[in-house]
Structure 1
Amino acid sequence: MESKINHDEVMEVCLLAGKIMMQSGAETYRVEDTMRHIANAFGNKPSHSYVTPTGIVFSIDGAGTKVSGISARSTDLKKVTIVNSISRRISSGDLSVKEAYHALKQVEAVDIAYPIWMQIPAAALASGCSLIMFKGGWNDFIPACIVSGLGFSSLVFFHRLVEIKFFAEILASLIIGLLSFFFVTNGIGHQLDKIIIGSVMPMVPGLLITNAVRDLMAGHLVSGLSKGAEAFLTAFAIGAGVAVVLTLY
């Protein structure tokens, strides 16, 4: 009975570690590898896992199976690094099952993302630099920063109002297109295409595309295709919002 309880606790630790990593933007193979290392560190029984972007199934031979659903996903690579660090401490024998679970619960509860007031200027500056990278003129640097800052702010605002990210992204890209056209029409900006391209860069799903390709190459077809579909929806939302403005004007 004691052994079963211990294995149940091990499965809870593995599921929690995997859930945090998937919610924070980790690749599927990295999640499965971390869960397997944790299970091996606490016992010698073979473990099995099935990980998708929306849920995790994990089992240890002779100890049953547990499932954990994943409803929200974002990009927080700092949490991925922390969970990997906890996994290494478990493998080296520095943490017990209860200590590992407590450490992971703290990671899950804490919000270590940069505050919004810092994210918005960072997105604006990154957009201005992207404009220059795509051979835009320096006279469009400030307009691109302003448009991106307002567009990213609207993305955050609409996503808080509507939980469906697709609608927030399409509305934000629509605002970016309108502001870019307004700036160019009034002589504040000069190259409409470069301003729009630079301004939408913070919204581009680069990590999703990268993870989708890496999962497909690693043989995780379900996760790779689902992440690719999510990246496609984001790209479609960005393109649709901008296309509406260009079509009307």
Structure 2
Amino acid sequence: MSTKNQSQTLDILEVCLLAGKIMLRGGAETYRVEDTMMRIAAAYGITHSHSYVTPTGIIFSIDRENVTKLVRINDRSTDLQKVAKVNSISRMISNGNLSVREAFEELKEVERDAHAYPILIQILAASIASGCFLIMFNGSWHDVLPAIIAGGFGFSSMLYIHRLVEIKFFAEFLASLLIGLLSIAFIVTNIGVELDKIIIASVMPLVPGLLITNAVRDLMAGHLVSGISKGAEAFLTSFAIGAGVAVVFTFIHF
């Protein structure tokens, strides 16, 4: 393999890995990440490629070139806008509208982009969602405001604690504990009426809905490692939320 061809192959490899990295960190399913990477490689003339994706890493290999690279994924969130942008870039590559260098620059720009929604908007959305969940669970309109306050406070606490301690389980546990304490305070001060409805509605923004969906989808697609690992992560998150509320009821007999 000539030096020029080797350099071009490595550039294509970097484009594929960068696209997969952005998608996986944004909350995309494992099968979608693998399919996108292989489609990009095929669009640039590499028809024999293999990708292996787990929630914590990506391995991409090109046959006949003896080129393999691993990318470690340390943090994941939910940013479907970036996933959509990478899909759009992938389609442009498949249509022959982007060179390797242009595609890499476009992907780097997507990676540098801030989250689709600022933190204040996320907290506001979590607050409104908590109030809506309370009504959906047949709660009283009198409890809408306590649910909005508790849900927004719990979600903001989770974001803040997660910045201080990079253990997501710990952040979700403390956030649900604070939601339980605040909900009890609303009941004691006669601001709220139904404690259970307030707590359930307030913790809903913390529930890993996308993670559970992706776990089931990956299992159905045959990606057993990714499906089981995502399911385990969702289980730990749910356990942390339940444990936080349980601790409040254990030490405060209300």
TM-score using structure 1 length: 0.98
In structure 2, the residue matched to 1:152 is: 155
Matches within 5 A, 1:1-249: 1=2, 2-63=4-65, 64-249=67-252
Distance in 1, Cα, partners of 2:72 & 2:58: 6
| CA deviation profile, 1:47-91 (whole Å, cap 9, x unmatched) | 001000000000111221111110000000000000000000000
> 1:37 is matched by which residue type in structure 2?
R
> Following the alignment from structure 2 to structure 1, what is the Cα–Cα distance between the partners of residues 54 and 159?
26
Query: Which is further off, 30-39 or 1-10?
Result: 1-10
Cα offsets for 1:145-173 (capped at 9, x unmatched): 01111111111111111111111110000
Q: C-alpha deviations, 1:150-203, integer Å up to 9, x for none?
A: 111111111111111111110000000000011112211010000000000100
Mapped to 1, the partners of 2:168 and 2:96 lie a distance apart of 41
Paired letter, 1:74: S
List 4+ stretches of structure 1 deviating above 6 A. Answer: none
CA RMSD of superposed structures (Å): 0.8
Residue 246 of structure 1: how far off its partner (Å): 1.3
Give how far 1:113 is off.
Answer: 2.5
Q: Amino acid of the residue matched to residue 177 of structure 1?
A: G
Distance in 2 between residues matched to 1:157 and 1:32, nearest whole Å: 33
User: How many angstroms apart in 1 are the aligned matches of 2:86 and 2:49?
Assistant: 19
How many correspondences in the alignment? 249
Which secondary structure state, in structure 2, belongs to the residue aligned with residue 159 of structure 1?
helix
SS at match of 1:19: helix
Q: Distance in 2 between matches of 1:126 and 1:95?
A: 40
Unaligned runs of 5+ in 2: none
Q: CA deviation at 1:143?
A: 0.6
Structure 1 residues not aligned, in runs of 5+? none
Secondary structure of the equivalent of 1:25?
Answer: coil
Identical aligned residues as a percent: 67
Change (3 A) 1:24 1:203: same
C-alpha distance in 2, partners of 1:126/1:170? 20
Deviations 1:6-28 (A, max 9, x none): 11111110000001000000000
SS at match of 1:74: coil
Mapped to 1, the partners of 2:98 and 2:44 lie a distance apart of 10
One-letter amino acid matched to 1:239: G
Rounded Cα–Cα distance in structure 1 between residues aligned with 2:6 and 2:131: 57
Residue 121 (structure 1) shift: 1.5
TM-score (norm 2): 0.96
